[in-house]
Amino acid sequence: MGKALVIGCGGVASVAIQKCCQNSEVFEEVCIASRTKSKCDDLKAKLEGKTKTKITTAKVDADNVDELIALINEVKPDIVMNLALPYQDLTIMDACLATKTNYLDTANYEPEDTAKFEYSWQWAYRERFEEAGITALLGSGFDPGVTSVFSAYALKHEFDEIEYIDILDCNAGDHGYPFATNFNPEINIREVSAKGSYWENGEWVETEPMEIKRVYNFPEVGEKDMYLLHHEEIESLALNIPGIKRIRFFMTFGESYLTHLKCLENVGMTSIEPIEYEGKQIIPLQFLKAVLPDPASLGPRTKGKTNIGCIFRGKKDGEDKTYYLYNVCDHEECYQEVGSQAVSYTTGVPAMIGAMMLMTGTWDKNGVYNIEEFDPDPFMDALNKWGLPWKESFEPELVD
C-alpha cells in the first residue's frame, strides 16, 4: 500500500516500526531516520528477513528543516511518523508542509527552554495543512491517543452527553531499580515536576505538583496511589467533548519514585536552567538523563502490568450513566513480542494504527486534527487486532 518515514529510533519508535513490519500489507516500506543512525541500522538488522516490509535507514537532525525536507524528497513517504521528541514537532510539521506529506505524532510541542506544553503552536498550522491538502494527526500514542479515542467512542456509542472524564494511567511495573523513568527521562521528569491542573466548568484549575492524591483499585492490578497531573489530552478533549464539566488525569507513582524525585528536585538536578560546570554550560536535567538507566534497558527487567483507561459519567436517554474503558498490558509479554516494556508498547502500537488510518484513507480529512476528531470505530477494532485489546465496565469504582 505505501511508505512511512519514521523519525526517531528510541523506545516508542522501535515498537511502532516492529508493528509496521507485522503489518506489511499496509507498510510496504519503512525508512527509519534518526540522529544516531547506528540505532536505525541495528533495528533494521534485527527485523530484516522476518518481514515483507522493505526497511531503509538514514541519518537526520530533526531540528533542521532543510535536512528534513531533503530526506522527505528523497524517500517520498506517504506519511512522516514523528517519534522523536516533542521539541521536534514544529520543524517536522514545517518539512511536511513544504513537501505536502501527511504528519503524525504522539506528544504535543514543547519548547526546549520552557517546560510548558500545549497545542496552540500546532493548532496554528490548521489552515496551512488544509490548503496544502494534507493531514496532521496529533497525539496518536496511548495518552494522548487511545484515551482520546476511548472518549470519542464513549460519546458515539454510550452517552448522549459526557459530563465527567477521569483518565487513569497506572503502571504497576517493577524494574528493580530504585529510580528510573519508563520513557525519555527528560520529558518524563519535566511532566511530573510541573504544576498539576484539571478542567472544570470551562476553566483550568491549577494545583501544586502532586498535591491531589487518590487511591484506586485497578482491575487486574490492585490498589495503587495515584496523583493528579496536567496532561495534554485534557486541552483538546475540553473542546471536542461538548458539554463536558470536568476532565482530570491521574497517574500512579510509587513511594520510592516520589522520594527520589523530591530529593533530586531539592538539590537542583531537575532544573532546565543552564549552569556553568568546568567551563562548560550544562543543563542539570540533561546531565541527570545521562546518568539514569536508559528506558530501553528496562525491558528485560520489568515485571507487572499497566492499566490505562477512562471513567466516563454522563447521561443516556435521560438517565445517569457510568462507563469505564481500559486496556491492561503485561510488561513481560510486550518484551517477549518486541523486546520493549509496556510503556513503549502502549505508545508504539497506536502510532502504527494512526498511521495505518491515514495511509489506507480510512481517516481522510485535510488539516490539523486531534485524534478524537475522527471516527473511533476502526481504530478501536485495530486496537483489538494489533495487541491492545480493551475492556469495558458499567459499574466501575469511581474516583472522588
Residues that bind ligand NDP (CB under 6 A): 8-13, 34-36, 39, 60-63, 83-86, 88, 106-107, 141-145, 183-184, 187, 295, 347
What does the H/E/C string look like for 282-307? ECHHHHHHHHCCCHHHHHHHCECEEE
Neighbours of 97 (CB within 10 A): 19
The residues, ordered by sequence, that sit 6+ positions from 214 with a Cβ below 8 Å of its Cβ are 225, 226, 227, 228, 250, 399, 400
SS3 177: coil
Closest separation in Å from C-beta 190 to ligand NDP: 10
- Mark 107-135 as b/e (b = at least 16 C-beta within 10 Å): bbbbeeeebebebeebbebeeebeebebb
Beta strand 319-330 with 305-316 is antiparallel
Beta bridge partners of 168: 250, 309
Do 183 and 267 contact (CB within 8 A), yes or no? no
The residue among 187 and 359 lying less far from ligand NDP, judged by its C-beta, is 187
* Closer by beta carbon to ligand NDP, 61 or else 163: 61
Q: Minimal distance in Å, beta carbon 28 to ligand NDP? A: 23
User: Of 44 and 313, which has the nearer Cβ to ligand NDP?
Assistant: 44
When CB distances to ligand NDP are compared, the closest residue is 10
- Between 53 and 88, name the residue whose CB sits nearer to ligand NDP: 88
- Cβ proximity to ligand NDP, 144 vs 367, nearer residue: 144
Opening angle at CA 376, ends 375 and 378, nearest 5: 90
DSSP state string for 47-92? HTTS-SSEEEEEE--TT-HHHHHHHHHHH--SEEEE-S-GGGHHHH
- Least distance to ligand NDP, CB of residue 86, Å: 5
Q: CB of 236: closest distance to ligand NDP in angstroms?
A: 12
87/164 with CB nearer ligand NDP: 87
Q: Which is nearer to ligand NDP, 29 or 143 (CB)?
A: 143
**152: enclosing H helix or E strand:** helix 146-157
Nearer to ligand NDP, 243 or 300 (CB): 300
The angle formed by the CA atoms of residues 75, 103 and 53, to the nearest 5 degrees, is 45
Q: Would you give the end-to-end CA distance of the chain in angstroms? A: 48
Minimum CB separation from ligand NDP for residue 247, in Å? 16
Minimum distance of ligand NDP from residue 202's CB (angstroms): 25
Q: Which is nearer to ligand NDP, 21 or 159 (CB)?
A: 21
Least distance (Å) between residue 354 CB and ligand NDP: 11
CB 106 within 8 Å of CB 30: no
CB of 321 to ligand NDP, least distance (A): 27
Longest dimension (CA), the chain: 68
Min dist CB 229 to ligand NDP, Å, is 13
Residue 58 CA neighbour count, 13 Å, CB half: 18
